[in-house]
Structure 1
Amino acid sequence: MKKLVIVNGTMGVGKSTIVSEVYKELQNSVWLDGDWCWQMNPWNVTEENKLMVMNNIHYILNQYLENSMFEYVFFSWVIHKESILDEILAGLIGKEYQLIKVTLMCSEENLVKRMRQDARSESQIENSIKRLENYKEMNTKKLNTNGKEIDLIIKEFLHMIVEGNL
């Protein structure tokens, strides 16, 4: 059965870094990063734009899930509330897939270090730290990335997906 792998976590935790490598390791896989749907200038969070982005996410994920070539569909995004995750899944009605939800976690100290290495602004770092607590209570499998090299995180993540070690 096709697997829909949703990867969330606060900004700067490493979602894009990890998923950009993991999907290449698995044949017949595809990846959508939710941030791609927000690439607009100026970046403006309005109700109209939020609706458009969610519609685009639904459309793309539905196309990937319907395509017989793909066995693994990866979707990464901040998704800091269960209600956002529920809204995403609600738009995938009628599709058969195994859902795997993984939250990448790290300590505040590690997060700040990573975000500064990426030259993120202090306001971005502050916003990301504020959201860290949201993820602890979400109904997802947690993958702690503290002190781990990227290769080890990828190995652990692949084990979760392929072997069902959730």
Structure 2
Amino acid sequence: MKKLIVINGTMGVGKTTVCQGLYKSLDKAVWLDGDWCWMMNPWNFNEENIRMVKNNITYLLRNFLTNSTFEYVIFNWVLHRKEILDELLVRLGDLDFQLKKVTLLCSETALRQRMIQDGRSEEQINLSIERLSMYENMDTNIIDTSEIGTEEIVQRIKEIIS
């Protein structure tokens, strides 16, 4: 059965890096980074754009999940509230797939260091740190990435999805 692997976590925790390694390590895999659907200039977070982004994500996930070429569909996004993912899953409710949810967490120190290395603003860093606690009690497979590398995180995710 096809697997939808949802990976969430606060900004800067390493979702993109991990998913890049994961999709390359799985045969018949495709990857959608939810942030790609927000690449607009100027960035405008309004109701119309929120609706458009959710529609685009649903459209892409639906096409990936119904494409016989893929066995694994990887989707990463911040998803700091359960309701956001639930809404997307309702839209895909008529499809047959196995859902695997993974949350990436790290310490505040590790998060700050990673975001500084990425050239993130102090405002972004503070917002991300504020949101860390939102992920601690999610009904997902939680991986603390504070002191482990990308390859080990990818291996742990592969164990979760097998």
Q: Normalised by the shorter chain, which TM-score bucket?
A: over 0.9
In structure 2, the partner of 1:64 is: 64
Give the 4+ runs in structure 1 shifted more than 3 A.
none
Amino acid of the structure 1 residue aligned with 2:138? M
Q: How much has 1:154 moved relative to structure 2?
A: 1.6
Which ranges in structure 1 are unaligned for 5 or more consecutive residues? Answer: none
Cα deviation code 1:128-160 (max 9, x no counterpart): 011101111221110111111222112212221
SS in 1 for 2:104: strand
Q: Does 1:117 align with 2:117?
A: yes
Cα deviation code 1:79-135 (max 9, x no counterpart): 000111111111102100000000001011110011011111000001101110111
In structure 2, the partner of 1:103 is: 103
TM-score after normalising by structure 1: 0.95
Give runs of aligned pairs for residues 39-78 of structure 1, distance below 5 A.
39-78=39-78
Amino acid of the structure 2 residue aligned with 1:42? P
**Contact 2:8–2:76 under 8 Å retained in 1:** yes
Equivalents in 1 of 2:151, 2:4: separation in Å?
Answer: 22
In structure 1, the partner of 2:133 is: 133
Amino acid of the structure 1 residue aligned with 2:46? T
SS in 2 for 1:112: helix
Amino acid of the structure 2 residue aligned with 1:76? N
In structure 1, the partner of 2:156 is: 156
Equivalents in 2 of 1:24, 1:108: separation in Å?
Answer: 29
Amino acid of the structure 1 residue aligned with 2:38? W
What percentage of residue pairs aligned between the two structures are identical?
A: 53
In structure 1, the partner of 2:21 is: 21
Which ranges in structure 2 are unaligned for 5 or more consecutive residues? Answer: none
SS in 2 for 1:103: strand
In structure 2, the partner of 1:35 is: 35
TM-score after normalising by structure 2: 0.98
Aligned residues: 162
